[in-house]
Amino acid sequence: MNMHATTRPVRTTCPYCGVGCGVLATPLPGGGLAITGDLDHPANFGRLCVKGTALGDTVGPNGRLLVPRIDGRDTSWGEALDLVANRFSETIDRHGPDSVAFYVSGQLLTEDYYVANKLMKGFIGSANIDTNSRLCMASSVAGHRRAFGSDTVPGLYEDLEQADCVMLVGSNLAWCHPVLFQRLTAARESRGTKVVVIDPRRTATCDIADLYLPIAPGADAALFNLLLSEVHRRGMTAGAPVEGLEDALAAAQRGNPAITGLPPDDLARFIEIWCANERVVTVYSQGINQSDSGTDKVNAILNCHIATGRIGRPGMGPFSVTGQPNAMGGREVGGLANMLACHLDIDNPVHREAVRQFWNAPRMPEAPGLKALDMFRAVDERRIKALWIIGTNPAMSMPDANRVCRAIAGCDFVVVSDIMAQTDTTRLADVLLPATGWGEKNGTVTNSERRISRQRPALGPVGQARDDWRIMAEVAQRMGWADAFAWTHPSQIFAEHAALSGIAGRLGSDFDISDCAGWDRSQYDAMEPFLWPRAGARQGGRFFGDNSYHTPSGRGRMVQVTPRLPPATTPSAAFCLNTGRVRDQWHSMTRTGTSPRLSRHLAEPFLELNPCDAESLGVSPASLARVTTARGEAILRVLVTDRVAPGQPFAPIHWSDQTASAGRVNALTAPLVDPVSGQPALKSTPASIAPFAARWYAYAASSRPIRPDSEYWALAALPGGYQAELAGSVVPADWTVAAQRLLDLDIQPMVVRDDRRGVIRLAFTQGSQLLAALFVSEEPVALSRSHLAAALSQDVDGTLLAGLPGPDRQDEGATVCACAGVGINRLITAITEQGLLSLDDVGRALGAGANCGSCRPEIKALMLRLKALGPDLRAGPPRQEVRAR
Ligand SMILES: Nc1nc2c(c(=O)[nH]1)N[C@H]1C(S)=C(S)[C@@H](COP(=O)(O)OP(=O)(O)OC[C@H]3O[C@@H](n4cnc5c(=O)[nH]c(N)nc54)[C@H](O)[C@@H]3O)O[C@H]1N2
Ligand SMILES: Nc1nc2c(c(=O)[nH]1)N[C@H]1C(S)=C(S)[C@@H](COP(=O)(O)OP(=O)(O)OC[C@H]3O[C@@H](n4cnc5c(=O)[nH]c(N)nc54)[C@H](O)[C@@H]3O)O[C@H]1N2
Ligand code: SF4
Ligand SMILES: [Mo]
């Protein structure tokens, strides 16, 4: 098969967020891929965000795990697979099926996920398989099942375009689902869609908000309860074929809207907008799900839609946007510990028996297995004795991550399948199995609107990497189940999954793609993106517009919700720490962190802090803060901004021990979960904050890997090299020696000192070319990072150690547009000097904002501030210039 010699574009799907954009990946002659958006894909119609656009930067052997390893030594596949199969079999024989567990991921392909679920539930006979979707979607799943009787997303993306009003609740759509945000923005421009954003933090998404409600953390149920009372009072719930309206209303009417922290005028406008627009879509995400009352918050939203019948018709409905590329596929195969397969119920003996017969399985678990947090607790307590982690990085992404690390380290036998060699989790494994990654893998994913698309390989596997489904099937064969795991191609797994969905459909499941059951490989390879369900009256469409639900009575179920605020909002907690995402990074950055383009936007772990808090704590902008909770601590760069309210600092989740000294925010979070879904409350941890007393700060850029060991460091990729932000409380005796060690160079640097200002600058050159430089200061280092980075491997000129760009070179400043590589300073100059008035002008003049559009909110905010304040912004906000002055 010579697929890889082709330079024709391969039609595939982006591996990042749940929007599920179609991508054309064209293999380049020298290796790597050229990436464009697929004009024909109905999720994106050719658009891509910056992460999708940069996919070509992240393929290739850089940092990849290339061969299987046992206890740190390279080994053969045969030996590794034998060991995994033997240890799992022995453990099951000795301690029973519930002594082993799989922890898998919403980033696996459906085929991978199907195999994992079949092996654990049907053949090992335990339900101890759970997934990182527990941290992500579990409250939505639970809320859907309570209200609809099934885990069904009722609507479609086009609903956001057909709505008259879109509510974004706990969703930073602009950064986390950028292409869907672009579709919404375009619809708003053409038809004046009203947009309401409900988030304690003023995010980039607020850029298009007609109404922004800075809700008190965790108070969403109180807001939607108020809405329910109001829609009822206005007669809008009359005739709704629902169960439980009276009880839900009574609970809602008992509520106290004051706990939302919102002024009465804003509450009134919110209600007016909702009531005046029948076509209303309520999009929600982690600000709702990741809460100790997440399921109730979901149901408070669903209550309003089902009570008014505003669901499953064009432009209306609740919409849980999924985070990961295959969060939905995972739900379809039953990858959660409390699900079976094809949306069947593990508690239902008829369902269990149907699946058992279909699989010809020796046994089936009779009860749900351990949910993620319980699973790692069981690992910690040595009740789980063999654990297999696949496609997720729990050592950094689970709450109370230090304890999770200890638990994994203490487990008898830990297998990790990953694409990368060095992650916070791979370093704890007994056996490491190299998986093929995006661009190499072959299978399907389901996006947030239930659309199934193909990921197709455009490159051969790196090193000895194998597909996840194959690795698991090979282990299953070695455990004695050769016949049930005998596939030779993912198309066969998909066909089997489709066939099972037919049985599920006959048992009443919404998920039925059984007309794909007979597909052969060529039909699978030719698959066009399609929506499920594929058959019946609902084919390719919406659910519940006919008011018929999957509950026993067929009616929608209202849930009584009594709002509860998170413990971190009690007066005794100093700060309520919020966490989430940034625009250009994906989770633990194992892939996006390798792209210099994506690393330019925000290159350090940071803490957004309100100016009042900064002042009362005595922390200045760009200094460092130590954040402490009952679980652990972190050291983060302080970003002073009124985007966050007093008492509600925000920190991004992306930094791990691989990229920062103390940037893992989940060292801070508590293992507090929603009682219904088991999803952790990751958005509100009681925390205290203090200045970190740095005696020196430094910035290093090098063409070679940097080896920091100071108390504070953060690493990022540069074009042709690496950079590090550094700080410490103990000043090294000799900066030349310290720099040589840090930069792994044994040559003598050029050194410039200014003892009066406490500044030392060291440059290492080879001939006239700059190899590396270290700038040290007693204050946070103020210099042009982009200038120094651009000087790497170039001839050194006289301005270098001054840290300023030469007269002929503009200092870009911090990157705003990652696609076109345009920095804040160039934007300011162009906007003011060329009199650019619109985003389109900026796009034409600089290319900024013209490609993926993810930075358009930032450029627009900059233009507004320039209008108000003039070009003096260079020294300060909007994005505090830690890096450039
Ligand atoms: N760039 C990028 N995009 C991604 C990802 C990524 O890593 N990077 N990850 C993907 C994944 S897996 C997911 S799950 C999604 C997540 O997508 P989102 O849920 O949109 O992202 P988050 O930043 O986690 O959180 C959203 C917002 O919830 C707000 N919030 C916190 N507490 C509350 C509250 O009590 N009420 C309300 N109303 N809001 C609150 C936060 O301030 C934050 O702005 O993103 C996906 N897309
Ligand atoms: N405080 C806080 N914590 C959070 C969140 C939050 O908002 N706040 N959000 C939570 C949410 S919603 C999520 S989804 C999680 C995400 O957390 P994780 O899933 O732990 O994060 P990732 O970095 O995406 O981990 C994916 C891993 O799989 C590897 N990988 C990539 N492709 C493949 C493949 O094809 N096969 C295999 N075997 N491995 C592969 C990557 O290298 C990486 O190590 O974080 C959760 N944690
Ligand atoms: S919006 Fe961006 S990250 Fe999400 S699927 Fe599309 S290109 Fe990928
Ligand atoms: Mo997620």
C-alpha 541 – ligand 1 centre gap (Å)? 27
pLDDT of residue 871: 56
The Cα angle at residue 624 between residues 620 and 627, in degrees rounded to 5:
110
pLDDT of residue 782: 82
Residue predicted with more confidence, 859 or 320: 320
User: Where do you find CATH 2.40.40.20 in the chain?
Assistant: 575-691
Q: Is there a contact between 220 and 566 (Cβ–Cβ < 8 Å)?
A: no
CB distance 669 to ligand 2 below 6 Å: yes
CB distance 762 to ligand 1 below 6 Å: no
Helix (H), strand (E) at residue 227: helix 220-233
Task: Name the pLDDT band for 829 (thresholds 50, 70, 90).
Answer: confident
Residue 390 three-state SS: strand
Task: Name the pLDDT band for 272 (thresholds 50, 70, 90).
Answer: very high
Beta strands in 185-253 (DSSP E): 194-198, 211-213, 242-243
C-alpha 626 – ligand 3 centre gap (Å)? 33
**To test the ligand 1 pocket, which listed residue (285, 585, 656) has its Cβ within 8 A of the most ligand atoms?**
285
Across the beta sheet with 721-728, what order do the strands follow?
712-718, 721-728, 696-702, 769-777, 759-766, 750-754
Least confident of 186-195, 219-228, 814-823: 814-823
Residue 80 three-state SS: helix
Ligand 3 atom index nearest CA of 14: 8
CB-based burial of residue 447 (10 Å sphere; 0-12 exposed, 13-18 middle, 19+ buried)? buried
C-alpha 137 – ligand 2 centre gap (Å)? 13
Mean pLDDT of 489-500: 98
CB distance 231 to ligand 1 below 6 Å: no
The Cα angle at residue 715 between residues 582 and 592, in degrees rounded to 5:
45
pLDDT at 622 over 50: yes
Q: State the helix-helix crossing angle for 77-95 and 468-478, rounded to 10 degrees.
A: 60
pLDDT at 804 over 70: no
Start-to-end CA span in the chain (Å): 55
**To test the ligand 3 pocket, which listed residue (36, 44, 171, 856) has its Cβ within 8 A of the most ligand atoms?**
44
CB distance 420 to ligand 2 below 6 Å: yes
How far apart are the C-alpha atoms of 326 and 391, rounded to whole Å? 12
Contacts 24+ apart (CB under 8 A), 615-618: 617/689, 617/690, 617/691, 618/691
Of all ligands present, the nearest one to the C-alpha of 417 is 2
Residue predicted with more confidence, 177 or 5: 177
User: Where do you find CATH 3.30.200.210 in the chain?
Assistant: 10-58
Mean pLDDT of 758-764: 93
Q: If you classify domain 10-58 with CATH, what class do you get?
A: alpha beta
C-alpha 698 – ligand 4 centre gap (Å)? 34
Ligand 3 atom index nearest CA of 23: 7
Mean pLDDT of 161-184: 98
User: Where do you find CATH 3.40.228.10 in the chain?
Assistant: 138-321
CA dist 744 → 4, 191, 736, 793 (Å):
38, 58, 12, 16
Q: Is there a contact between 228 and 300 (Cβ–Cβ < 8 Å)?
A: yes
Task: Name the pLDDT band for 395 (thresholds 50, 70, 90).
Answer: very high
CB distance 170 to ligand 1 below 6 Å: yes
Cis peptide before 434 (omega within 30 of 0): no
Task: Name the pLDDT band for 877 (thresholds 50, 70, 90).
Answer: very low
Mean pLDDT of 851-858: 84
Q: Is there a contact between 701 and 695 (Cβ–Cβ < 8 Å)?
A: no
CB distance 133 to ligand 1 below 6 Å: no
pLDDT of residue 377: 98
CB distance 198 to ligand 1 below 6 Å: yes
pLDDT of residue 879: 40
The number of beta carbons lying within 10 Å of the beta carbon of residue 832 is 14
pLDDT of residue 227: 98
Which among 634, 99, 723 has a CA at the least distance from the CA of 396? Answer: 634
pLDDT of residue 810: 63
Mean residue pLDDT of the chain comes to 93
C-alpha 404 – ligand 2 centre gap (Å)? 15
pLDDT of residue 881: 34
- Summarize pLDDT for 291-311 with one digit per residue, the tens: 999 999 999 999 999 999 999
* Nearest protein CA to atom 24 of ligand 2, as residue: 587
Ligand 3 atom index nearest CA of 325: 5
CB distance 594 to ligand 2 below 6 Å: no
Task: Name the pLDDT band for 876 (thresholds 50, 70, 90).
Answer: very low
Give me the half-sphere count of Cα atoms (radius 13 Å) on the Cβ side of residue 542: 20
- Summarize pLDDT for 835-845 with one digit per residue, the tens: 888 898 898 88
Q: If you classify domain 815-869 with CATH, what class do you get?
A: mainly alpha
C-alpha 201 – ligand 1 centre gap (Å)? 11
pLDDT at 115 over 70: yes
pLDDT > 70: what percent of the chain? Answer: 96
- Summarize pLDDT for 399-422 with one digit per residue, the tens: 999 999 999 999 999 999 999 999
CB distance 132 to ligand 2 below 6 Å: yes
Which among 372, 391, 389 has a CA at the least distance from the CA of 325? Answer: 391
pLDDT > 90: what percent of the chain? Answer: 81
Least confident of 21-35, 379-393, 586-600, 826-840: 826-840
C-alpha 745 – ligand 1 centre gap (Å)? 41
Write down the architecture of domain 575-691 according to CATH.
Beta Barrel (2.40)
Lookup result for tokens 């160039």: 826
Which among 596, 548, 615, 786 has a CA at the least distance from the CA of 58? Answer: 596
Mean pLDDT of 730-734: 95
| Buried b / exposed e along 293-305 (16+ C-beta atoms within 10 A) | bbbbbbbbbbbbb
Strand partners, 434: 418
**To test the ligand 1 pocket, which listed residue (17, 565, 599) has its Cβ within 8 A of the most ligand atoms?**
17
CB distance 390 to ligand 2 below 6 Å: yes
Of all ligands present, the nearest one to the C-alpha of 132 is 2
pLDDT of residue 1: 39
* Nearest protein CA to atom 16 of ligand 1, as residue: 323
Least confident of 90-94, 692-696, 812-816: 812-816
Residues lining ion ligand 4 (Cβ < 5 A) are 136, 323
pLDDT at 43 over 50: yes
Which residue ranges have their beta carbon within 6 Å of ligand 3? Answer: 14, 16-17, 19-21, 44, 48-49, 51-52, 177-179
C-alpha 691 – ligand 2 centre gap (Å)? 30
C-alpha 113 – ligand 2 centre gap (Å)? 15
Of all ligands present, the nearest one to the C-alpha of 176 is 1
The number of beta carbons lying within 10 Å of the beta carbon of residue 200 is 25
Which among 839, 149, 180 has a CA at the least distance from the CA of 556? Answer: 149
Rg (CA), the chain: 27
For 223, the token pair is: 């807001």
User: Where do you find CATH 3.40.50.740 in the chain?
Assistant: 69-135+326-531
Beta strands in 41-161 (DSSP E): 69-70, 73-74, 100-104, 129-131
Residue 324 three-state SS: coil
CB distance 592 to ligand 1 below 6 Å: no
pLDDT of residue 601: 82
CB distance 684 to ligand 2 below 6 Å: no
CB distance 679 to ligand 2 below 6 Å: no
Ligand 3 atom index nearest CA of 37: 7
Task: Name the pLDDT band for 373 (thresholds 50, 70, 90).
Answer: very high
- Summarize pLDDT for 546-596 with one digit per residue, the tens: 989 999 999 999 999 999 998 877 777 799 999 999 999 999 999 999 998
Residue predicted with more confidence, 388 or 805: 388
Task: Name the pLDDT band for 809 (thresholds 50, 70, 90).
Answer: low
The letter for the amino acid at 745 is L
Domain 69-135+326-531 indexed as CATH 3.40.50.740: yes
User: Where do you find CATH 1.10.10.1100 in the chain?
Assistant: 815-869
The letter for the amino acid at 461 is P
How far apart are the C-alpha atoms of 620 and 614, rounded to whole Å? 7
pLDDT of residue 31: 85
CB distance 566 to ligand 1 below 6 Å: no
Helix (H), strand (E) at residue 154: none
Of all ligands present, the nearest one to the C-alpha of 58 is 2
Strands 33-37 and 22-27: what pairing? Answer: antiparallel
For 407, the token pair is: 């638990």
Mean pLDDT of 123-130: 98
Which among 876, 878, 854, 871 has a CA at the least distance from the CA of 180? Answer: 854
pLDDT of residue 884: 29
- Summarize pLDDT for 518-555 with one digit per residue, the tens: 999 999 999 999 999 887 778 889 999 998 999 999 99
pLDDT at 169 over 60: yes
pLDDT of residue 546: 92
How far apart are the C-alpha atoms of 399 and 403, rounded to whole Å? 9
Task: Name the pLDDT band for 807 (thresholds 50, 70, 90).
Answer: low
The Cα angle at residue 137 between residues 99 and 122, in degrees rounded to 5:
35
Residue 70 three-state SS: strand
Which among 828, 794, 825 has a CA at the least distance from the CA of 812? Answer: 825
Of all ligands present, the nearest one to the C-alpha of 581 is 1
Residue predicted with more confidence, 881 or 325: 325
Task: Name the pLDDT band for 282 (thresholds 50, 70, 90).
Answer: very high
Lookup result for tokens 């000043």: 731
Q: What is the CATH number of domain 138-321?
A: 3.40.228.10
Lookup result for tokens 């919406």: 542
C-alpha 141 – ligand 3 centre gap (Å)? 22
* Nearest protein CA to atom 17 of ligand 1, as residue: 176
CB distance 200 to ligand 1 below 6 Å: yes
Q: What is the largest CA-CA distance in the chain?
A: 83
* Nearest protein CA to atom 11 of ligand 2, as residue: 136
pLDDT of residue 883: 33
- Summarize pLDDT for 130-168 with one digit per residue, the tens: 999 999 999 999 999 999 999 999 999 999 999 999 999
C-alpha 296 – ligand 4 centre gap (Å)? 19
Of all ligands present, the nearest one to the C-alpha of 196 is 1
